[in-house]
Amino acid sequence: MKKISFITSVLVALFFAVTSFAASVTLTWDRNQEPDIAGYKISYGTSSDQYASSITVNDTATQPVQTSYIIDNLQEGATYYFVIKAFDLAGQEGPFSDEVSVYIQSTFAIGGLSISQIFNNLSSGTYRLTVMADNTYQVEPLGNSPPVVSISANSLEVIEGETVTVMASASDPESDPLTYSWYVDGALDFSGNDSGSWADLSVGNHSVYCIVDDGQGNEVQSNTVSVALLQGPHISVPEILTLNATYGDATADGSIAVTNSGNGDMDWTVSTTSGMLSLSPNSGTNSGNVGITADLTGLDSGDYYGDVVISSPDADNSPQTVPVMVSISDIANNVASIDLKSGSKQYLSITDANQTGLDLATDFTIEAWIKLETLPSTTGIHYTILSKDDPTNSRGYGFILRYNDPGEAVANSPLVYFLDSSGNLTSLGCDTALTQTGIWYHLAVTVDISVPSAKFYIDTVLKSTLYHSTAATTINNSSSPFSIGARINNSTPERFFYGLIDGIRVWNDIRTSTEISDNYNSELVGNEANLVGYWEFNYSLLDKTPNNNDLTISNGSAVFVPLD
């Protein structure tokens, strides 16, 4: 087995670090002669043959082997014992060297005391030590150093309802205990530790700082933190919602815009105690629209009121109430009529494919306001008020004013006709004539198919009740267009009306005389039972019923005349 030789000599040099009251020693030894020496291990302690500390020097083969080492932080007034042994690249160690020792004396001795003994008797602080000629000394305090304090944040933004927390960082050279006094907007708020917390600051801008006291007469103010306390979630809604409707409307619709005008998230719900209002959706987050629908069933014209309540557990102004006013107005008065001038050959129509409900099958009523420009007897033609009849291709029904046709007793009087499903043509004419031009007449005819019979009313007065000998069950379903002011015969219009027409109503039932007289001079809503077509001609050719039998004018633009 290979043996590593003893280290032949160890030298010790002693040095002192005065400021720390500790010493350093330098160990120097002779290098071993073996070529593969890797390093040395130094062991030392304060008792002979008892080594509490160990240091390895140069333990890699790539470094030159060191033969001296400085050991620091050895205490004054103690004896230290040192030994060294070598080890090679294979990790084999040699025996310890001879033990060497050194006594570390005190650097200074003043009045029989070392420097460390003098200062160990003092509290923390800064002192002046004066040594007299007779080896006595005097220690004088030079004053306490102030602490250093700072707050890392220069500004904070906090939402209303959240806690504002500010942390201070402070240190004291003498490690004196520190007291923190916290100031808000220049006024002392409380004294405590290095953390200030506030949950009740008002919305707006605030300043926060602290003053640190070390108890030795030193007070230091930190930097100032700007705190912006933002308004929390806040419900913003309109002051009132007004829903407008016309008498007879089924519903009135609108919406309420819910807005979060503050900061932070806001969950909200909506509710109402009003039986006529329904809401959708009934909840949301932050901002959104709430649809409001008022059920107008059974309500007369006038103003009705309800409330919508918006609530939020997050908002600072919850709940908020929005009054809802539903204003139902009377039906607007009729203001205009359609003018079918003499010679213009204008008429209104809708194709069979596009119409709904105008293929009358059984009992019906037709109403119309007319003002004649000329009488039929002066022109020698029948005036068509309305028709769904093509005599060449597909017959149906019609309502006309007749001229003095041979075999017809009364000229200028209303006549209604229809072809039944058996192919029988029934014509029933009133025996009262219209004798004047330039005035308004209200005409109405009711037809009972099963008899068959017809009742003619002029200005709500029953003028004639007529019967036909041939019974009928249904009216022929004609493919002809429905037209006002002309009849379509094999795609060619004929029997033009010359004058003003207004307020055409087609019903698929028999109206009573009371129903006719009670409503002839009033505007209808359009959703009345059994009403299948209703044209007011208030600057429009639209049908007011849900059937939407809107008309188209032929041979020019529609001319509307204000009612006189």
What is the model's pLDDT at position 128? 72
More confident residue, 296 or 111: 296
For residue 407, the model assigns a pLDDT of 54
pLDDT above 70 covers what percent of the chain? 88
- Is the peptide bond prior to 452 cis by the omega test (within 30 degrees of 0)? yes
Examine the pLDDT at 364 and tell me if it is beyond 50: yes
DSSP string, 489-511: ETTEEES---EEEEEEEEESS--
Give me the DSSP letters along 217-228. S-EEE-PPEEEE
Give the dihedral sign, CA 349/354/357/361: positive
pLDDT value for 509: 97
Confidence of residue 124 (pLDDT cuts 50, 70, 90): low
For residue 358, give both structure tokens.
């105008």
Strand, helix or coil for residue 294: strand
Q: Where is average pLDDT lowest: 99-103, 240-244, 544-548?
A: 99-103
Instruction: With H, G, I as helix, E, B as strand and everything else as coil, classify residue 550.
Output: coil
The amino acid present at 183, given as its one-letter code, is: Y
Ordered structural domains, the chain, with CATH: 10-104 (2.60.40.10), 148-230 (2.60.40.10), 235-329 (2.60.40.10), 336-562 (2.60.120.200)
pLDDT at 66: 73
Nearest Cα neighbor of 12 from 107, 104, 106, 114 is: 104
Beta bridge partners of 21: none
23 within 8 A of 35, measured Cβ to Cβ: no
Does residue 546 have a cis bond before it (omega within 30 degrees)? no
Give kind and range of the element (H or E) at residue 268. Answer: strand 267-271
Question: How high is the mean pLDDT of the chain?
Answer: 88
Whether 97 contacts 114, CB under 8 Å: no
Q: Mind listing the pLDDT tens digit for each residue in 453-467?
A: 999 999 999 999 999
What CA–CA distance (Å, rounded) separates 500 from 502?
7
pLDDT at 234: 93
Burial 439-470 (b: 16+ CB within 10 A, else e): eebbbbbbbebeebbbbbbbeeeebbebebee
Q: Give the pLDDT score at 9.
A: 45
Predicted structure pTM score:
0.48
Closest-CA residue to 443 (of 497, 377, 370, 514) = 370
Identify which has the larger pLDDT, 404 or 217. Answer: 217
What are all long-range contacts of 250-254, with beta carbons under 8 Å and residues at least 24 apart? Answer: 250/295, 250/296, 250/297, 250/527, 251/293, 251/294, 251/295, 251/296, 252/293, 252/294, 252/296, 252/326, 252/328, 253/291, 253/292, 253/293, 253/294, 254/291, 254/292
Supply the pLDDT for residue 18.
Answer: 32
Cα 525 from Cα 249, distance rounded (Å): 7
Residue whose C-alpha is closest to residue 349's, from 447, 496, 528, 524: 496
The reported pLDDT for the residue numbered 37 is: 86
pLDDT at 485: 97
pLDDT band, residue 59 (cuts 50/70/90) = low
Q: Calculate mean pLDDT across residues 243-260.
A: 90
CA distance 28 to 14: 12
By the 10 Å C-beta count (0-12 exposed, 13-18 middle, 19+ buried), 501 is classed as buried
Report CA torsion sign: 536, 540, 541, 545.
Answer: negative
List all residues 6 or more positions away from 61 whose beta carbon is below 8 Å from its beta carbon: 36, 38, 89
Cα 87 versus chain centre, distance: 79
d(CA 193, CA 149): 13
Residue 301: per-residue pLDDT: 82
